[in-house]
Structure 1
Amino acid sequence: MWEEEIWSCSWCYAATHVGGEWFEVARPPYLPMSMRWERAVADGLPADVSHAFGIFVRTLCGIQQVGMSPSDHWWLPEREYVCGACREVAGVIDGRWPQAMRDEGARVSVARRL
């Protein structure tokens, strides 16, 4: 039986997947803001404002609702009906990714050698 853990950085929100069938350490590459987060859905969130689903079952602006989950749709920060606080946090997080770590080969997967 194998297990997998996902570690998320609370500073830059980079995710690292550890474990799995081949005990791989996978670090997904940098994604632009419009492809990094899904729209948050939950009872109690206003329908006329789009919030980004972050990590630790919260929106980027810090809202936590019981049953919150990411939707099947991208959260698009350039839209006018998005939460301004989520947009601001997304910009701060995006700025934390070093330019040298943004190309496709900068974050790689490493499998355990058997």
Structure 2
Amino acid sequence: MTHVGGEWFEISRPPYAPVDRRWETALAERLPPDPAHAFGSFENTLCGIELPGIGPSDYLWLPEHLNACGACREAAVVIDERWPRELRDDHARISIAKRLAK
């Protein structure tokens, strides 16, 4: 994901967030509450369920809960492992505007 804005229309990546603070619980009329799925994007869960109107709820999806979808948990771990370790703190944002200024 890329954020655009700030001074000089800075383009930067969002800060790292651990698995238990990154996704909201998915919510849809035809999606049963158990197991709890993580909302991915564009009407999909992290495990690949696609339903019209699926979206994020107001609540975080917690992978350690007993009712958390195992396939969503596996996908979350894979995604988390892709984030470089050296870019996991708040000061590790990459700014294209700052790179161009050099």
What's the TM-score once normalised by structure 2's chain length?
0.84
Q: How many angstroms apart in 2 are the aligned matches of 1:20 and 1:50?
A: 36
Query: More helix by proportion, 1 or 2?
Result: 2
User: Tell me, which stretches of 5 or more residues in structure 2 are unaligned?
Assistant: none
Tell me the residue number matched to 1:62: 48
Question: In structure 1, the residue corresponding to 2:57 is in which secondary structure?
Answer: strand
Equivalents in 1 of 2:40, 2:47: separation in Å?
A: 9
Alignment of 1:21-60 (within 5 A): 23-60=9-46
Report the alpha carbon displacement of residue 98 of structure 1 after superposing the two structures with TM. Answer: 1.0
More strand by share: 1
Matched, 1:78 2:64: yes
User: What percentage of aligned pairs have identical amino acids?
Assistant: 60
In angstroms, what is the RMSD of aligned CA positions?
2.2
Aligned residue pairs total 99
Deviation of the 1:97 alpha carbon: 0.8
Q: Tell me the distance in 2 between the aligned counterparts of 1:45 and 1:21.
A: 41
Following TM superposition, by how much is the alpha carbon of 1:48 offset from its aligned partner in structure 2, in angstroms? 1.8
- When normalised by structure 1's length, the TM-score is 0.76
Structure-1 separation of matches of 2:26 and 2:33 = 10
Match of 2:88 in 1: 102
In the alignment, structure 1 segments of 5+ residues that lack a partner are 1-14
Q: Pick from 66, 73, 78 the counterpart of residue 87 of structure 1.
A: 73
